A and B are shown apart, each in its own frame.
Chain A
Amino acid sequence: MGAYLARRLLALLPTLVLASLIVFVTIRLIPGDVIDLMLSQNDVAADKLTRDQLIAALGLDRPMWEQYLRWVADIVLHGNLGHSLWQTAPVTELLLGRLPVTFQLGAMALVVALLIALPIGIHSALRQDTAGDYLGRSFSILLLAVPSFWLATMVVVFPSIWWGWSPEVNYVRFGDDPWQNLKQMALPAIVLGAGLSAITMRLMRTMMLEVLRQDYIRTAWAKGLPERLVVLRHALRNAMVPVITLVGLQAPLLIGGAVIIEQIFVIPGMGLLLLDAVQQRDYPIITGVFLIVGVAVMLINLAVDLSYGLLDPKVRYR
């Protein structure tokens, strides 16, 4: 297991390098006049920095390869992602403050997604081609098509009109008041999770159908095991591996969706940080968020691969 993990992490390296190059090159596509735009659009900026200072702060005054190496060395050696242009904080510090919030939203949304997807998916498979199955499938196709920001808009607008209820906009940190925080995060997590559940539900159904036709399931039935045991102990565990893979593959979707949800519900996570940075053209922050998100997705996928062993004893890591 240890050797396997080391090998996997090593194999991640080239992908990481390529990812960092993607981040780096994308940001360097900034056309020159953007510098002028940044100064003209941002009064604070114009007060604080001259044109040359801004170029130097962005590191654009050096050759490309040197910029890249410096940037990577700073991150690897010092964990330093640079300095925000307009705020006085280092990007790493800003990110660390926001990361747990987005992580919590994502984790809660994932739980919601699974709570919706697994029971409906399993039920659909067990009662294939019944009314319940059709209902479940139609529901999932519909969920797939509803944009999360529309769903979010509706849950903000209509309860407010009908019952005068609106979600809390002053964010409460989990550490300060866990119960209040969970209450506040529940609705955003449900909206985000609902969209994610659609594909998972479909795959859960497909996999269950496949597994339920296996011989060992017939044996389990023949032994006279109750349905609950056959389904939960014998079928579900075997059907879960591809579903878990899918959950891992959806990580980018989850993080991307969080950006929109955070904006609607004013949750101070990474998404809001990114959007604010885009408004102010604070490129060091944009670069930082971009990179961290990519790395996070890679690590999530690695964690997913490792989890197969827990679910499926046949999987051995060598």
Chain B
Amino acid sequence: MAAVLPADAATAPQRPPGFLRRLLLDKPLGAAGAALLLLFVVVGVFAPWIAPAGPNDIAPLDRLQPPSWAHWFGTDNLGRDVLSRCIHGAQLSVIIGCLAALLATVVSAVIGIVSGYFGGKFDLFVQRFVDAWMSFPDLIILIVVVSVVGPGMPQIIVTLGLLLGIGGSRIVRSAVIGVREHMYVHAAQSIGSSSARILRRHILPNVMPPIIVLFTTRVGTVILAESGLAFLGLGVPPPAPTWGAMLSGSGRTYMFQGPWLALAPGLCLTLVVYATNVFGDALRDLLDPRMRGSK
């Protein structure tokens, strides 16, 4: 489907022209995902203005109201408006998702580029470390680290960023190894450019496509991981309206009386993760044909 790529797309550092148009024409599903993501970010950023009520406005008289015109997604056991909580939850997800994914991508890029470019013993050691790191399930590392440093937004962002960053370095590394042997890199080496300059000016721009794709898919991974953690009661402490937390804790007991409590946050999560997945897939096909079909 991406057969319209110009022949030099694999090596061209800048996006091919008409990126948006190709996204819309060739990848309608990816474009829909992008639109959904955009909506999610806008809702997150402007949450306080969009939400009909504050996330923690308690109204005991309105407790456990089913969805209605006044409360689109109903109310919870404390009479809090579920729609408003979901919208404010989007804000937390945007913040955590973007910051942690950014950190993860930077970590992946630094480790991957340095390890891939220099190779040798250093690479061997780093790769064994990455091996060891990747044999621990993300969620287990998260649980253990949070048990040590305590729950809280900054801890979660940093932990998620480092965690996913180390694992993702593999993808960047393999891209770097592909670029390392290109003629222009040898040329730069032979005219005596410093390693730092080669990495910055020649390697980095050429491995940007996988890095961009990595960032996009990481946003979804981070949001999913954070919600799992929040679900276990180890996320941003209550009463923060994170989607994961809304599905767990005291809310769970009331779901049998108010099943709508179980629907809205999960639906939000699924939609956002779905959007990042299809958009990430489309980006991969458009920006980096070599990665097609890989995960």
Chain B window 248-278, contacts with chain A (Cβ cutoff 8 Å), 1 for yes, 0 for no: 1000100110010010011001110110011
* A160→B256 contact, CB < 8 A: yes
Question: A303 at interface (Cβ–Cβ under 8 A)?
Answer: no
CA distance A250 to B274 in the complex (A): 20
* B224: interface (CB < 8 Å): yes
Q: A147 to chain B: closest CB distance in Å?
A: 5
User: Residues 264-295 of chain B: 1 if any A CB is under 8 Å from the residue's CB, otherwise 0?
Assistant: 01100111011001100000000000000101
Residues B228 and A290 in contact, CB atoms below 8 Å apart: no
- Docked pose: A257 CA to B138 CA in angstroms: 10
- Which of B139, B145, B273 contacts A26, CB < 8 Å? B145
A144 and B137 contact, CB distance less than 8 A: no
**Among listed A79-87, A170-178, A291-299, interface-contacting one:** A291-299
* B3–chain A nearest beta-carbon distance, Å: 16
- Interface positions, chain A 116-159, Cβ under 8 Å from B, are 141-142, 144-147, 149-150, 153-154, 157-158
Contact A256 B234 (CB under 8 A): no
A15 to B134, CA, bound (A): 10
Give Cα distance in the complex from A161 to B144, angstroms.
35
Chain B residue contacts of A256, Cβ below 8 A: 137-140
Q: Given A252-B137, A260-B231, do A147 and B224 touch, yes or no (CB 8 Å)? A: yes
Give which listed residue, B128, B139, B262, contacts A157 with CB less than 8 A: B262
- The answer, yes or no, to whether B51 is at the interface (CB within 8 Å) is no
Q: In the bound complex, do residue A252 and residue B278 qualify as a contact, i.e. CB atoms below 8 Å apart?
A: no
Whether A27 touches B136, Cβ cut-off 8 Å, given contacts A15-B131, A145-B277, is no
Are A298 and B255 in contact, CB atoms less than 8 angstroms apart?
no
Whether, in the assembled complex, B132 has its beta carbon less than 8 Å from a beta carbon of chain A, the answer is yes
User: In the bound complex, what is the Cα–Cα distance between A16 and B265 (angstroms)?
Assistant: 40
Q: How far is the CA of A149 from the CA of B295 in the complex (A)?
A: 23
Q: Which of B132, B136, B274 contacts A145 (CB 8 A)?
A: B274
Interface size class of A (residues with CB under 8 A): 35 or more
Do A142 and B140 have beta carbons less than 8 Å apart? no
- A22–B274 Cα distance when bound, in Å, is 33
How many A-B residue pairs lie within 8 Å, measured between CB atoms? 139
Partner of B128, one of A14, A142, A147, A199: A14
Contact (Cβ within 8 A) A161 B259: yes
Contact check: which of B131, B266, B271, B295 meets A199 at CB < 8 Å? B295
Chain B residues near A147 (CB-CB < 8 A): 224, 227-228, 231, 244, 266, 269-270, 273
Across the interface, which residues of B come within 8 angstroms of A144, CB to CB? 273-274, 277
With A146-B270, A147-B228, A154-B266 known as contacts, the answer to whether A293 contacts B139 (CB < 8 A) is no
By the criterion CB–CB under 8 Å, are B228 and A157 in contact?
no
Given the complex of chains A and B, what is the CA–CA distance between A274 and B144 in angstroms? Answer: 9
Q: Is the CB of B128 within 8 A of A252?
A: no
- Contact between B139 and A150, CB atoms less than 8 A apart: no
**Is there an interface contact between B140 and A290, defined as CB atoms closer than 8 Å?**
yes
Say whether, besides A14-B128, A275-B143, A286-B144, A293 and B273 are in contact (CB < 8 Å): no
Candidates A15, A27, A149; contact of B148 at CB < 8 Å: A27
Instruction: Say if the beta carbon of B194 comes within 8 Å of chain A.
Output: no
- A260, closest chain B residue (CB): B228
- B20 on the interface (CB 8 Å rule)? no
Measured in the bound complex, the distance between the Cα atoms of B273 and A146 in whole Å is 8
Q: Residue B118 at the A interface, CB < 8 A?
A: no
| Contact of A222 with B by CB under 8 A | no
Contacting B269 at CB < 8 Å: which of A141, A150, A274?
A150
Which residue of the partner chain, among A15, A30, A146, A149, contacts B247 with CB atoms under 8 Å?
A149
Q: Are A150 and B270 in contact, with the CB atoms below 8 A?
A: yes
Given A147-B224, A260-B232, A297 contacting B270 (CB threshold 8 A): no
Q: Does A220 contact B (CB under 8 A)?
A: no
**Neighbouring A residues of B141 by C-beta, 8 Å:** 26, 290
Using CB atoms, name the residue of chain A closest to B29: A141
| Contact of A266 with B by CB under 8 A | no
**Closest CB pairs A-B (n = 7):** A256-B137, A150-B266, A256-B139, A145-B274, A18-B132, A252-B137, A19-B132
Where the two chains meet, the residues of B that have a C-beta atom closer than 8 Å to any C-beta of A are 128-129, 131-141, 143-149, 220, 224, 227-228, 231-232, 234, 244, 247-248, 252, 255-256, 259, 262, 265-266, 269-271, 273-274, 277-278, 293, 295
